[in-house]
Amino acid sequence: MSVMLASVASRRSALVLATSKTSPACLSFIVGRSMSTAQERKDQDNILPTSWTVILDRSSQIFFLTEIWRAIWLAGEVAMKPKVTINYPYEKGYLSPRFRGEHALRRYPSGDERCIACKLCEAACPAQAITIDAEEREDGARRTTRYDIDMTKCIYCGYCQEACPVDAIVETQNFEFATETHEELLYDKEKLLSNGDKWETQIAKNLLSEHLYR
């Protein structure tokens, strides 16, 4: 009996001695490991068994490919709905009368150009895209000799149209004027007047539709 007690005492002393020699890092690892093991056991105890209803439901979805059939049904519904796209350029969407597109210079019904070379549009342009030269004609009227617009600078703000007192410079609803070279987008007076002659009917209609707001 005395021999057993002496053995137990020697083991306890050895454990105490080993613990005292163990570094704090090792002790923290041992404590953390024991805590994580206890947490894992607790999590395993909290896991609920999966019911047979859930198992059968998941199995039937996998076996009968229900997700694929639902996707096919949804694709069929979308295919049968009315189309929201248009066949551009053969079909075109609605454009507001205030749409700001390609520039144009207008004429009076008599054929005389409207621009009086007041240069308000040139002053109002924030991009400084307009260049105007003017001189007085023999009849005393002031008219432009040069009216250039650099369309690569233009930001289509519409300030030139708003500043014009005689509705000479306007922005049409034409947005299809892409070019292959930079020089083709440097509009001169002849180009702007030809645009005005081409779109005059539509321009007059748009200006009439918004006269209440001007």
Res 16: pLDDT: 44
Res 15: pLDDT: 44
pLDDT average, residue stretch 114-122: 95
Provide the token pair at 123. Answer: 């002053």
Provide the token pair at 25. Answer: 């890092």
Res 71: pLDDT: 93
pTM: 0.62
CB 195 within 8 A of CB 103: yes
* HEC per residue, 30-42: HHHHHHHHHHHHH
Region of 22 please: left (phi>0), alpha (psi -120 to 50) or beta: beta
Residue 108 has pLDDT above 80, yes or no: yes
* pLDDT tens by residue, 8-66: 445 555 444 444 444 555 545 454 555 566 666 666 666 667 788 888 888 888 888 88
Find the length of the chain: 214
* pLDDT tens by residue, 181-208: 999 999 999 999 999 999 999 999 999 9
pLDDT-derived band at 4 (thresholds 50, 70, 90) equals: very low
| Phi, psi angle pair for 99, to nearest 5° | -60, 135
Amino acid at the residue 79: A
Region of 148 please: left (phi>0), alpha (psi -120 to 50) or beta: beta
Provide the token pair at 63. Answer: 């076996």
